[in-house]
Chain A
Amino acid sequence: MNWPQKIHEAFQALNVRQVSYVPDAGHSALIRLCDQDPGIRSVSLTTEEEGVAMAAGAWLGGERAVLLLQSSGVGNCINMLSLQHETRMPLFMIVTMRGEWGEFNPWQVAMGKSTQRVLEESGVYVYRADSPEEVPAQVAAGASFAYQTGRSVAVLIGQRVIGTKNFNK
Chain B
Amino acid sequence: MSTQNSRPLDRRRAVARILRERGDALVVTSLGNPTFDVAAAGDRAQNFYLWGAMGGAVMVGLGLAQAQPGKRVIVFVGDGEMMMGIGSLATVAVQGAPNLSVVVIDNEHYAETGMQPAHAGRGADIAGIARASGFDAAAQVRTEAELERAAQQILHGAGPVLVTVKVSTDPQPVALPPRDGPYLRSRFREALLGTDAHQ
Contacts and interface: CB of A to CB of B under 8 A. Distances in A.
Contacts of A86: 51-52, 181
B91 A57 contact: no
A50 B59 contact: yes
A52 interface: yes
A144 interface: no
Contacts of B94: 44
Contact of A46 (B68, B88, B184): B88
Contact of A56 (B63, B90, B91): B63
A54 B192 contact: no
B95 A56 contact: no
Interface centre among B88, B193, B196 (most CB of A within 10 A): B88
A31 B116 CA distance: 42
Contact of A62 (B50, B184, B193): B193
Contacts of A88: 181-182, 185
A62 B67 contact: yes
Interface in B55-111: 55-68, 85, 87-88, 90-91, 94-95
Interface stretch (A76-84, A107-115, A118-126, A134-142): A76-84
B134 to A, nearest CB: 12
Interface in B179-194: 181-182, 184-185, 188-189, 192-193
Interface in B3-47: 26, 28
Contacts of A56: 53, 56, 60, 63
Given A54-B62, A57-B28, A60-B48, A82 B53 contact: yes
Nearest to B68: A61
Contacts of B185: 59-60, 87-89
Given A44-B94, A46-B90, A61-B192, A53 B64 contact: no
Interface string B115-158: 00000000000000000000000000000000000000000000
Nearest to B51: A86
Interface residues of A, number: 32
Contacts of B54: 79
Interface string A12-55: 00000110000000000000000000000101111101111111
A86 B181 CA distance: 5
A47 B55 CA distance: 11
20 contacts: A17-B66, A18-B63, A18-B66, A46-B90, A50-B87, A53-B59, A56-B53, A56-B56, A56-B63, A57-B28, A57-B60, A60-B185, A60-B192, A61-B65, A61-B66, A61-B192, A62-B189, A62-B193, A87-B181, A89-B185
Interface of B: 26, 28, 48, 50-68, 85, 87-88, 90-91, 94-95, 181-182, 184-185, 188-189, 192-193, 196-197
Ranked nearest first, the 3 interchain pairs of A and B with the lowest CB-CB distance are A57-B63, A61-B67, A53-B56
